Structure 1
Amino acid sequence: MNRQATTMTLWQAIDALAAQLPFSTQKVGRTLSTTLSDTHAAGGDVFRFFEGTPVRLADGAELARIDLRIKREDASQGFLVLELKGRCVPMAEVRQHYAALELIDVPRGRSLDEASTFAATLGWGRLSFGFTERNPDCLAFVAFDPA
């Protein structure tokens, strides 16, 4: 698997992406040093789905999957999910960067992939951090949901 590398840490990448709003495949791709391609996913009547190649970050975290969704009708801000692998990013580290987190979703016992999700409400929208049941001590994904 071809992995791109970037000199940014996870936190620098998050800040750089938030500064890119509204999202586009070009901006996200350039920021993360990856190429985003249309997945032509089913249900693509409302959204266009783009996926990026994995990116290794300077701090040892890895963006295993980059999932960008852009509305077809009103090219809104876009919705971006970064799935993480590589080093474990514990909740304590998330809180060092985003102290005011609110629990917005909890697992319902149906799957080890369900997550406890914590969100920070920022000037541009909501930034969410998910910790799955499979590995509850390590950050599994970061989602950008612009207002």
Structure 2
Amino acid sequence: MTQTDTTLWQTIDALVQQIPFTKAKVESVLATHLVDREISKDSIRNAAFQFYVGGPAKMADGIVVGKVDLRVRHTGGHPGFLALGKLSGECVTLAMVRAHYSNLKLTDSPRGHSLDETTAYSAFLPWGTLSFAFAERNRDCLQGVSFDPKIAAADNAVK
């Protein structure tokens, strides 16, 4: 397992600075190796996006990212999509997330089908949407973080 010298919050900030996402940029920030999912064991072919997976990666604050999921469009013009999932280690509560992103909106809620369903809270930022997911299985601790940049963010430098 790789370990970064940054906390989860510093890592989130560093990843935002990497928009538009590429495999190399995400690998550099997370100090982990991503593999092409189409040649890995959970093979899914997609004509529009290239899928990469990786992990685990341990943050300096004890938080472990169990899975990294990066999606990059085969053709240019799209900033990509990134999800950090299966978070474990130090518990990150909703109050801790709100301390960093106070203007969160509830954007998804479980429908009662599985303990793996999540409640998601999102921050709508100038560069795009940053979402925080809390699974029913362990509602008090952050399960995942996703980055969904606006297409325009790929053309503008993120400040």
Which residue of the other structure, out of 135, 138, 146, is the alignment partner of 1:135?
138
Match of 1:33 in 2: 31
Q: 1:91-111: CA deviations, max 9, x gaps?
A: 010000000000000000011
Q: 1:36-87: CA deviations, max 9, x gaps?
A: 1101031422211101221111101001100001112335101000011111
Q: CA RMSD in A?
A: 1.0
- What stretches of structure 1 move > 2 A for 4+ residues in a row? none
Q: Which amino acid aligns with 2:56?
A: P
Matched, 1:86 2:89: yes
Match of 2:14 in 1: 16
Q: Which amino acid aligns with 1:77?
A: P
Distance 1:35 1:15 in 2: 20
Q: Which amino acid aligns with 1:105?
A: D
Deviation at 1:123, TM superposition (A): 1.1
Which residue of the other structure, out of 56, 69, 72, is the alignment partner of 2:71?
69
Q: Which amino acid aligns with 2:95?
A: A
Distance 2:138 2:77 in 1: 35
Matched, 1:109 2:112: yes
Name stretches of at least 5 consecutive residues in structure 1 with no aligned partner: none
Q: More helix per residue: 1 or 2?
A: 2
Deviation at 1:13, TM superposition (A): 0.2
Identity of aligned residues (%): 48
Match of 2:125 in 1: 122
Q: More strand per residue: 1 or 2?
A: 1
Q: Which amino acid aligns with 2:127?
A: W
Match of 2:103 in 1: 100
TM-score between the two structures when normalised by the length of structure 2: 0.88
TM-score between the two structures when normalised by the length of structure 1: 0.95
Q: Which amino acid aligns with 1:135?
A: N
Q: 1:97-128: CA deviations, max 9, x gaps?
A: 00000000000001111100000011110000
